[in-house]
Chain A
Amino acid sequence: MACSRAEALSLFRSLLRVASTFKDYNIRSYARRRTIDGFRENQTLSDPSSISAAFSDGKAQLVVATRQALVYDIYAPTTKSVMETLGV
């Protein structure tokens, strides 16, 4: 079952939204970077089976990320990372 272009973009948007909910700066920037790299890497896939494999992989990662955002939230870091205090 191949996914459509709109579904892929919707997954991209959902992953980016979940990535921005992480409290830890490092994990937040990694999640954002990884989704962008992952989607760019698979941008030119043409084989339907590999497209659907990548899509289901992405959906599984979305489930993991939403769960982990909640789990990490329980023990959120109290001090802000130095990267977030720039711009003074």
Chain B
Amino acid sequence: MAPTVAATLIYVPTLSISLKQRPGVSGVFPTSSVLFPRSRRIGSHRLRVSCAAKPETVDKVCEIVKKQLALGADQIVNGESKFSALGADSLDTVEIVMGLEEEFGITVEEESAQTIATVQDAADMIDNLCAIKQ
């Protein structure tokens, strides 16, 4: 009796994790293969004064933000979304920046982290730091 109880306990975590992984993986593939965002980005790249972030970076940042704030699939997160508008308080913002550090393998300074207000700011800083790292 005891071994079967333990077996069912072990099963539950792996099931829930694999369920969570699948939607995340399938969510990444379509966006990276769609051409529309890429062509739109090139146009905005010409208009911006500072260098714009790559669309893949923005997509990854949006994914991490959505996961951290537990936003549904119907809520739109793009480059111009402000963290405060998405319902993130300062603690959430710190957690998101830490998640981005871990994901991209960079280290963000305290002062730079406080200036991040939108998804685009975060993506720009990530690309700058990745370029400096290389």
Contact = CB atoms under 8 A, between A and B. Distances in A.
A16 B21 contact: no
Given A13-B110, A17-B98, A20-B102, A43 B91 contact: yes
Contact of B94 (A9, A83, A86): A9
Contacts of B113: 13
Contacts of A20: 98, 102
How many chain B residues sit at the interface, stated as a range, is 10 to 19
Given A16-B98, A20-B102, A39 B110 contact: no
A5 B102 CA distance: 24
Given A10-B110, A86-B21, A87-B21, A16 B91 contact: no
Contacts of B95: 16, 36
Contact of A12 (B91, B102, B114): B91
A17 B106 CA distance: 12
Contacts of A10: 110
B102 A86 contact: no
A86 B110 CA distance: 32
A39 B17 CA distance: 26
Interface in B80-95: 89-91, 94-95
B94 A13 contact: yes
Given A13-B110, A13-B113, A87-B21, A5 B98 contact: no
Interface in A1-60: 5-6, 9-10, 12-13, 16-17, 20, 36, 39-40, 43
Closest 8 interchain pairs by CB? A16-B98, A12-B94, A13-B94, A39-B91, A9-B90, A9-B94, A86-B17, A87-B21
18 contacts: A5-B90, A6-B114, A9-B90, A9-B91, A10-B110, A12-B94, A13-B94, A13-B98, A16-B94, A16-B95, A16-B98, A20-B98, A36-B95, A43-B89, A83-B17, A86-B14, A86-B17, A86-B21
Given A5-B90, A86-B14, A86-B18, 13 more contacts: A6-B114, A9-B91, A12-B91, A12-B94, A13-B110, A16-B98, A17-B98, A20-B102, A39-B91, A43-B89, A43-B91, A83-B17, A86-B17
